[in-house]
């Protein structure tokens, strides 16, 4: 069999792949003394129409120049060696990257470790950041198009869709130039890309799903979609993934672009922040014993509080004491009005024969009152209690938690917030203090032991909120319960 020689220079060794846009070959460059190996891509227009052939040729040359610039800037994009036209076909000659695609890597060893996947992402996101800075969207990120190079283990991004899009150029029935083919792989491309309107975060979506495949073994087509939100339901396969990494991936694959990372740099920053997580301890800070403010108004016992919030809680305790004292004073002031004394009947003081020991007034335990449980006309609200503070965090099942919701809260409060999501579904807790807390909540109905609790009960929103709070606590070293 005669081995094909392309452009009288590139000797084909074997076919690497074939598709609707042409074929890809492994070849040797006979013009080079080393006979270096290279990849030759034969690209053919979707329609061999003389009207648009010149236009396709111009676009091909322009986009080939872009690929040359990209490969010349980073060694994690294959360099472009040449391009040429032969017999009406378009050819690209690119650097041959010796290594294994992520698909091949997965087939060899199975699930990748979290550390390995995180390293791949951290090494690949700067490449995407540069590509996007050149106003280019890759459009076909998937395990097949990322190669782990043998010589250094770095991920290399291959098979850009820019030139392939030019090959799809046709003239529609109105005579307008258009692209009839959507570039991308079903499952790995988001909805806006499938509609022909890719944005930079479309690449981050594809990269996030690639990471999930490596960690869980599940292709996007194997995952269910939440019919209400359009979000991928994948966490049941990723219970072994740390909450901090899971929340990064959740944000990357959000259905709507506005909910994703807007830039590769933003996603990279969050991943790098996970490199040195701070292990939680219990407790972080134990305050000295609090001296009672008054013999008749002892201060209620406090939970262990981080230093920044101790003054605020003391102020609330003093405020509650003042409210109680004020109520007692007002009661004595109005008693003569409510119960007037008939001076004609009082002729002499009556001596009491029974000694009554006054009962000390004690401040009730400090509680934070759920907003929905406060009567609009009650004295609680008029007594200037901060009704925006609540221990009824059931809203975490209804809307996304933000950093603004978490700022200023100590480890104790954040632990309560996070565990409220589980308690809402009837989970019990190994920590007795935590269990006692929820036992005092009127809505709590414990049903499952910690070991038997089905994680599937949590909605995608609830799981995301749990992960968000956990990540915030890790970043800020705020934990109270073990």
Q: How far apart are CA 143 and CA 122, in angstroms?
A: 16
Q: How far apart are CA 450 and CA 434, in angstroms?
A: 12
Strand order in the sheet with 10-19: 5-6, 10-19, 22-29, 37-43, 89-95, 80-86
Q: In 54-141, which ranges are E strands?
A: 80-86, 89-95, 99-101
The token duo for 379 is 């004295």
The full length of the chain comes to: 482
Q: How far apart are CA 423 and CA 453, in angstroms?
A: 10
Q: How far apart are CA 129 and CA 133, in angstroms?
A: 6
The token duo for 133 is 């800075």
Residues whose CB is less than 8 angstroms from the CB of residue 162 and which lie 6 or more positions away in sequence, other chains included: 63, 66, 67, 136, 139
User: Is 140 known to be catalytic?
Assistant: yes
Q: Which of 8, 87, 100, 140 is catalytic?
A: 140
Q: How far apart are CA 216 and CA 304, in angstroms?
A: 39
User: Dihedral of the CA atoms 75, 81, 84, 86 (nearest 10)?
Assistant: -100
Q: How far apart are CA 450 and CA 437, in angstroms?
A: 16
Query: Vertex 260, ends 254 and 264: CA angle to 5°?
Result: 130
Q: Is 311 annotated as a binding residue?
A: no
Bridge partners for 14 per DSSP: 26
DSSP string, 9-66: TEEEEEEEEEETTEEEEEEEETTSTT--EEEEEEE--SS--HHHHHHHHHHHHHHHHH
Positions annotated as catalytic residues are 140
Binding-site residues, in ranges, read 41
Q: Which residues are annotated as a binding site for ATP?
A: 41
């Amino acid at each position: 069999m005669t081995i094909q020689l392309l452009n009288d220079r590139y000797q084909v060794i074997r076919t690497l792949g074939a598709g609707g846009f042409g074929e890809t070959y492994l070849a040797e460059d006979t013009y080079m003394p080393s006979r270096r190996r290279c990849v030759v891509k034969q690209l053919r227009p979707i329609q061999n129409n003389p009207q648009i052939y010149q236009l396709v040729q111009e676009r091909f040359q322009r986009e080939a120049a872009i690929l040359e610039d990209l490969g010349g800037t980073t060694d994690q994009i294959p360099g472009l060696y040449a391009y040429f036209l032969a017999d009406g076909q378009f050819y690209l000659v690119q650097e041959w990257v010796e290594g294994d695609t992520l698909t091949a890597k997965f087939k060899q060893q199975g699930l990748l470790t979290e550390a390995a996947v995180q390293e791949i992402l951290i090494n690949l996101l700067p490449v995407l950041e540069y590509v996007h800075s050149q106003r280019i969207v890759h459009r076909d990120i998937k395990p097949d198009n990322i190669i782990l190079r043998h010589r250094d283990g770095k991920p290399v991004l291959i098979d850009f869709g820019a030139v392939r899009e030019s090959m799809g150029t046709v003239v529609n029935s109105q005579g307008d130039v258009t692209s009839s083919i959507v570039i991308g792989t079903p499952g790995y491309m988001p909805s806006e890309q499938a509609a022909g309107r890719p944005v930079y975060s479309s690449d981050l979506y594809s990269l996030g799903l690639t990471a999930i495949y490596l960690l869980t073994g599940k292709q996007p087509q194997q995952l269910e979609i939440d019919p209400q939100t359009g979000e991928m339901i994948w966490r049941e396969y990723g219970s072994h993934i740390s909450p901090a990494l899971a929340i990064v991936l959740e944000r990357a694959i959000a259905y709507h672009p506005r909910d994703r990372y807007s830039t590769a740099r933003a996603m990279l920053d969050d991943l790098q922040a996970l490199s040195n997580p701070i292990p939680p301890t219990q407790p972080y800070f134990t305050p000295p014993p609090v001296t009672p403010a008054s013999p008749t108004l002892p201060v209620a016992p406090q939970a262990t509080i981080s230093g920044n919030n101790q003054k605020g809680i003391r102020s609330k305790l003093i405020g509650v004491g003042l409210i109680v004292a004020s109520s007692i004073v007002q009661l004595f002031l109005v008693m003569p009005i409510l119960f007037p004394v008939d001076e004609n009947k009082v002729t002499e003081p009556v001596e009491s024969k029974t000694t009554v020991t006054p009962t000390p007034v004690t401040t009730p335990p400090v509680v934070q009152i759920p907003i929905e449980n406060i009567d609009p006309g009650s004295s609680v609200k008029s007594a200037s209690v901060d009704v925006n503070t609540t221990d009824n965090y059931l809203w975490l099942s209804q809307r996304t938690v933000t950093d603004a919701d978490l700022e200023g809260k100590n480890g104790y409060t954040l632990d309560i917030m996070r565990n409220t999501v589980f308690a809402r579904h009837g989970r019990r807790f190994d920590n007795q203090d935590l269990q006692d807390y929820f036992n005092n909540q009127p809505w709590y109905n414990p049903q499952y032991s910690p070991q038997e609790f089905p994680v599937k009960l949590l909605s995608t929103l609830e799981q995301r909120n749990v992960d968000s709070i956990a990540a915030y606590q890790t970043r800020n070293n705020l934990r109270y319960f073990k």
